[in-house]
Structure 1
Amino acid sequence: MQFFAHGLHLRGFTPPLQLADFRLIAFDMDSTLINIECVDEIADAAGRKAEVAAITEAAMRGEIADYKESLRRRVALLAGVPAAALEDVYTRRLRLNPGAEALVRGCQAAGLKTLLVSGGFTFFTDRLRDRLQLDFTRSNVLGIVDGKLDGTLVDQPWGDICDGAEKRKMLLETCAALGVDPKQSIAMGDGANDLPMMGAAGLSVAYHAKPAVREQAMVSIESGGLDRLLEVVRP
């Protein structure tokens, strides 16, 4: 990877690119658009954060090949957590990562559509969609019975779990719906389950990412905020 600026590394192209040449930007949520892994913080309410976080870390590093199974294992450990804990995580722990809003607004001003695609949960993606006026989302639904998480995920019309393959599929489906070439899309993520959609996009961006993701991304932001992408892809 070539060095471009402090904490910013590039592979396979020469900057600057023009933001207006792209039509869609897709964001991972946990540890990319936001500062936390939501499943880990929900687990804290059950006294199981360390156990769940260890599985999350292994999955994000690509050490667990079956993302769906890893998520089912983590969600099963949430059984019995009051649904009210989700609101607590959103209001007290979840923050946008530095530069997130500036990058989203910059992309919107340049005419790009926005996609939030996550292995996390609709409780959070729906709120972020409304907060940032994002165009599209895809994520997972937590099962809730009698006001408590039941340790399951709810099947949706498109499938069961949003894993790496589903992220890629959603990126491609969104491009098709917009009538644009996938090469006119940008995909940003930090974990191994983001690699399939990053590989399908015209520009792949790693944000404070796991080693395997940094090594494969065309842009790797290793210090500073998400809006450092605007140093490479100019408005």
Structure 2
Amino acid sequence: MDHVLTLVAPRGGLSSATLHAARDALAALGAATGTPDWLSPEEAADLPFADLAPGQADAAARAALEGQAVDVIAQGSAGRRKRLLIADMDSTIVTTETLDELAGQAGIKDRIAAITKRAMNGELDFEGALRERVGMLKGLGVEALQRTWEETELMPGARELVATMRASGARCALVSGGFTFFTGRVAALVGFHEHHSNTLLEADGRLTGHVADPILGRNAKLATLKRLAAEEGIGLEATVAVGDGANDLDMIQAAGLGVAFRAKPVVAAAARARIDHGDLRGLLFAQGYRAAEIAHG
């Protein structure tokens, strides 16, 4: 079979009946289907298929499983395991938007979070929205950065994703529109090889309200994906990119496996693959890793 449909659910949430429903949906469109292969019991399984385009298989399975907490990713069977991971940070590798949480230290979280939401859904220019939000933090003591970091939590599956891909020889990069104070700490904690982000400017122990140029935004994320792939001597088809916001969309669409993770509506609608229910381990299952192969960072 030249294609595979991967189904992933929160642990214990995937049943044989669900697999059969997906298989029947593909068969109804004329696809030939193989025997389901469980990657993780009651959590993830592959369904091989042929004679149907991945986009059609994805749409058919989603329609058949509507209302169930099951993620669906259809793709070619060859080259599933990727050699470069590019990951967004906020609301992807960590559970929060660190800039919004930093704003909470200044008592203006709601004001800044409203701008963040619009920017991440593509309603505002990212660079302009970033400068506006940072400007609202002018005068905030830099100790607020540490307090924010102490309250930041990793997304479930983040350590396993990076540890497993590293163990398989993949290069792992954190590429964020956020700030180096946080990306450096997240990269060290999770095990990324490197991190790329923006720099908050400070003076006399307080934020100046400015961010250093050039700003790492949507175009820069895509450029970083292409540059790192070239450095590794691989094509974009051998890469995986994951993120949730509009500034992630170009790199998600360019990567061989581009995943919208619990993403904003505009991103979820435009991405070829998405994870709405499972954790970051879903990116491993999408690459064909079995539960026994998953490393713990």
Q: TM-score, normalised by structure 2?
A: 0.73
The aligned counterpart of 1:89 is 148
Q: CA deviation at 1:136?
A: 2.2
Higher share of residues assigned helix: 1
Instruction: Name which one, 1 or 2, has greater alpha-carbon Rg.
Output: 2
Pairwise CA distance, 1:16: 8.5
Residues 1:146 and 2:204 are matched in the alignment:
yes
In structure 2, C-alpha distance between the alignment counterparts of 1:17 and 1:174, rounded to whole Å:
18
CA drift at 1:46? 1.2
Q: CA deviation at 1:105?
A: 1.1
Structure 2 CA distance, aligned partners of 1:7 and 1:79?
44
Q: Among residues 180, 183, 206, which one is paired with 1:122 in the alignment?
A: 180
Bigger relative CO (Cα 8 Å, ≥ 6 apart):
1
Q: What is the Cα-based RMSD across aligned positions, in Å?
A: 1.6
* Match for residue 177 of structure 1 among 222, 226, 231: 231
3-state SS of 2:281 partner: helix
**Count of residue pairs the alignment pairs up:** 226
Paired with 2:188 and 2:258, the residues of 1 have a C-alpha distance of 25
Q: How far does the alpha carbon of each residue in 1:132-191 deviate from its partner, in whole angstroms, 9 at most, with x for none?
A: 221121100001111011100123xxxx10100000011111111111112111000001
Choose the corresponding residue for 2:107, options 47, 66, 69. 47
Distance 2:277 2:79 in 1: 20
Aligned partners of 1:15 and 1:233 also within 8 Å: no
3-state SS in 2 of match to 1:94: coil
Question: 1:141–1:154: 8 Å Cα contact kept in structure 2?
Answer: yes
Picking from 101, 108, 118, the partner of 1:58 is 118
Uncovered stretches (5+) of structure 2, i.e. residues with no partner: 1-57, 290-297
Q: 1:10 corresponds to which letter in structure 2?
A: I
Report the Cα distance in structure 2 between the residues aligned to 1:229 and 1:70, rounded to whole angstroms. Answer: 30
Cα shift at 1:15: 5.8
Once residues 192 and 109 of structure 2 are traced to their aligned partners in structure 1, the CA distance between those partners, rounded to angstroms, is 30
Hey, what's the Cα distance between the residues in 2 that align with 1:45 and 1:96?
20
2:198 is aligned with what amino acid? N
TM (normalized to structure 1)? Answer: 0.91
Question: Which of 70, 73, 97 does residue 7 from structure 1 map onto?
Answer: 70
Any idea what SS the aligned residue of 1:32 has?
A: coil
**In the aligned structure 2, how far is the partner of 1:213 from the partner of 1:53?**
18
1: CA distance, partners of 2:135 / 2:182: 19
Q: Percent identity?
A: 39
Matched, 1:162 2:226: no
Following superposition, the deviation at residue 234 of structure 1 comes to 1.5
Say which SS state the counterpart of residue 30 (structure 1) adopts: coil
Query: Partners of 1:213 and 1:79 in 2: how far apart?
Result: 31
Cα distance in 2 for residues equivalent to 1:46 and 1:211: 29
Provide the residue aligned with 1:194 in structure 2. Answer: 248
Unaligned stretches of 5+ residues in structure 1: none
Secondary structure of 2:155's aligned partner? coil
TM-aligned CA deviation for residue 126 of structure 1: 0.7
Could you tell me which residue of structure 1 aligns to residue 7 of structure 2? none
The DSSP-based 3-state class of the residue aligned with 2:176 is strand
CA contact (8 A) 2:83 2:238 kept: yes
Confirm or deny that 1:220 pairs with 2:274. Answer: yes
Q: Do 2:71 and 2:276's aligned partners in 1 also have CA atoms closer than 8 Å?
A: yes
**Matches of 1:134 and 1:229 in 2, distance apart?**
16
Alpha-carbon distance change, 125 to 17 in structure 1, aligned in 2, over 3 angstroms:
same
Separation of aligned partners in 1, 2:78 and 2:133: 41
Residue 205 of structure 1 aligns to which amino acid in structure 2?
Answer: V
